[in-house]
Amino acid sequence: MKINKRHLLNYSILLPYLILSVLGLIVVYSTTSASLIQYGLNPFRSVINQGVFWIISILAILFIYHLRLNFLKNKATLTVAMLVEVVLLLVARFFTKEVNGAHGWIVLGPISFQPAEYLKLIMVWFLAYTFAKKQHDIEVYDYQALTKRKWIPRRMDDLKDWRVYALFLILLVAAQPDLGNATIIVLTAVIMYSISGIGYRWFSALLTSIVTLSALFLGLISVVGVETMSKVPFFGYVAKRFSAFFNPFKDVTDAGHQLANSYYAMSNGGWFGRGLGNSIEKRGYLPEAQTDFVFSIVIEELGLIGAGLILALVFFLILRILLVGVKAKNPFNAMIALGVGAMLLMQVFVNIGGISGLIPSTGVTFPFLSQGGNSLLVLSVAIGFVLNIDANEKREEIYREADEAQRDPEDVFVEERYQSNYN
């Protein structure tokens, strides 16, 4: 007997997602209504747009949840998705207007979208598909199964190398320039590479290399100077961010304006906050208060305790997603879930690190809370993938137990639910 997937829904993932999404709508209204009123616009304009994307996201989750997982494992589907993404990234870079120093948005009438946002999930999908196919080789040859080719292809056959595709897509994002999303994609790829089955010592080596190169790069900028480095191609846009990283109060009116006011916002919040809607910094002092620096406003209005509870809920969601990957028996399912968890974790790390001055600000939004329909849709699709994978893994486990006991799968399922509720 076939078990209905609606009975296998993982509410420990769905409920935190719904709570964070609703909180996001409240935060979007709180951070945008004052400025919209100032310009004589509808104060609900931004939250309505976000709400429309949220409804679309819910429908996307329902659709993805009921799909067969074979569509994710289909090479033709993945190939089409990657080709479309390459075209969109090229269009965004060379055929769109510059916005805040970068070419990242494609505008079609009232609709605008950022291809780099979708690449984060496509990269997780691509790497999961690639590494899952190489599991046998990884078990035998360890990291050599993933590094037997050269980085630069010398023959047409070498173009099949997964690293060529990954590097090309990441370079397209960095060339926009969008260093924030490029950083998230690189860190997510490193984590997925490290959990693909290779020896744990290689993760330590990769982590040490990244930390060392980052320290050397920051040291070089500190010695040479931001002004000199700003003359380097593609670096001029991010030069001010590095200047603010070293000392945001050196130039409060320009380079350090955002980070300095981010500090002021968090200082204003204290432990318990000024109250929802009572932020001072969002009233024209802190630019991009509804996107990049939204968590600074959350701290100002809800305090460190309120913001800490939200952050704890985000980490709970990430841990539940990672747990799905850890428990999964199928390598592809495990890599998808772990990749999605890593992607969320890296986005939180880059955003919080940027607003607190731990790392240079990169313009990355905070998951679920920041204004941005594209970001919400991508995260929702990722949640849909994980919920589908979790349900399929549970169903396969029930079928395995039923086969071993030669019983009806429905009876095994009912018995497991009873024992779970009883315990």
Instruction: Give start and end residues of each alpha helix (H) in 157-293.
Output: 162-174, 179-194, 200-224, 226-229, 236-246, 257-269
Mean pLDDT of 235-257: 66
Helices (H) and strands (E) in the chain, counts: 15, 2
Phi and psi torsions of 231, nearest 5°: -80, -10
Residue 10: other Cβ atoms inside 10 A: 20
Q: Which domain holds residue 31?
A: 11-62+82-384
76 within domain boundaries: no
Mean pLDDT of 220-228: 69
2 within domain boundaries: no
Higher pLDDT, 389 or 96: 389
Question: Can you give the pLDDT at residue 20?
Answer: 95
Q: How many residues does the chain have?
A: 423
Model pLDDT for residues 148-201, shown as the tens digit of each residue = 544 344 443 443 555 677 788 888 888 777 778 888 998 898 888 888 777 666
The pTM assigned to this predicted structure is 0.85
The angle subtended at Cα 59 by Cα 289 and Cα 414, nearest 5°, is 120
Higher pLDDT, 53 or 135: 53
Gap between the Cα atoms of 339 and 209, Å rounded: 21
The torsion region of residue 106 among left (phi > 0), alpha (psi -120 to 50) and beta comes to: beta
Which residue bears the tokens 């509804």? Answer: 290
Question: Can you give the pLDDT at residue 382?
Answer: 95
Question: Can you give the pLDDT at residue 178?
Answer: 78
Ranges 145-154, 336-345, 378-387: which has the least confidence: 145-154
Contact 417, 98 (CB under 8 A): no
Question: Can you give the pLDDT at residue 366?
Answer: 92
67 within domain boundaries: no
Instruction: Give start and end residues of each alpha helix (H) in 247-330.
Output: 257-269, 294-327
Question: Can you give the pLDDT at residue 248?
Answer: 73
Whole-number percent of the chain with pLDDT over 70: 77
Q: Which of 215, 221, 216, 163 is nearest to 192 (CA)?
A: 163
Gap between the Cα atoms of 263 and 260, Å rounded: 5
Question: Can you give the pLDDT at residue 157?
Answer: 43
Contact 303, 270 (CB under 8 A): yes
Which residue bears the tokens 């993932």? Answer: 13
Question: Can you give the pLDDT at residue 245?
Answer: 66
148 within domain boundaries: yes
Max Cα-Cα span within the chain: 73
Model pLDDT for residues 64-104, shown as the tens digit of each residue = 998 888 888 888 888 888 888 888 888 888 877 776 666 77
Q: Is the peptide bond before 177 cis (omega within 30 degrees of 0)?
A: yes
Gap between the Cα atoms of 227 and 223, Å rounded: 11
pLDDT greater than 70 at residue 11: yes
Contact 60, 380 (CB under 8 A): yes
**What tokens appear for 361 in the block?**
């600000």
For residue 27, give every residue at least 6 positions away whose Cβ sits within 8 Å of its Cβ, in sequence order, or none.
294, 297, 298, 369
404 within domain boundaries: no
For the chain, the helix, strand and coil percentages under 3-state DSSP, each to the nearest 5:
70, 0, 25
SS3 322: helix
255 within domain boundaries: yes
412 within domain boundaries: no
Number of domain units in the chain: 1
For residue 12, give every residue at least 6 positions away whose Cβ sits within 8 Å of its Cβ, in sequence order, or none.
320
**What tokens appear for 69 in the block?**
């997982």
Mean pLDDT of the chain: 80
Question: Can you give the pLDDT at residue 237?
Answer: 59
311 within domain boundaries: yes
C-alpha 42 chain-centroid distance: 30
Question: Can you give the pLDDT at residue 257?
Answer: 73
Q: What distance, in Å, lies between the first and last C-alpha atoms of the chain?
A: 26
**What tokens appear for 140 in the block?**
């035998």
Ranges 3-12, 85-94, 169-178, 237-246: which has the least confidence: 237-246
Mean pLDDT of 359-378: 86
Model pLDDT for residues 17-66, shown as the tens digit of each residue = 999 999 999 999 988 888 888 888 888 888 999 999 999 999 999 999 98
Question: Can you give the pLDDT at residue 251?
Answer: 66
Q: What is the dihedral of CA 161, 162, 164, 168, to 10 degrees?
A: 160
Question: Can you give the pLDDT at residue 267?
Answer: 87
Ranges 127-131, 248-252, 277-281, 389-393: which has the least confidence: 248-252
pLDDT greater than 60 at residue 423: no
**What tokens appear for 152 in the block?**
């630069």
The angle subtended at Cα 249 by Cα 247 and Cα 255, nearest 5°, is 75
Gap between the Cα atoms of 412 and 418, Å rounded: 10
The angle subtended at Cα 304 by Cα 300 and Cα 309, nearest 5°, is 115
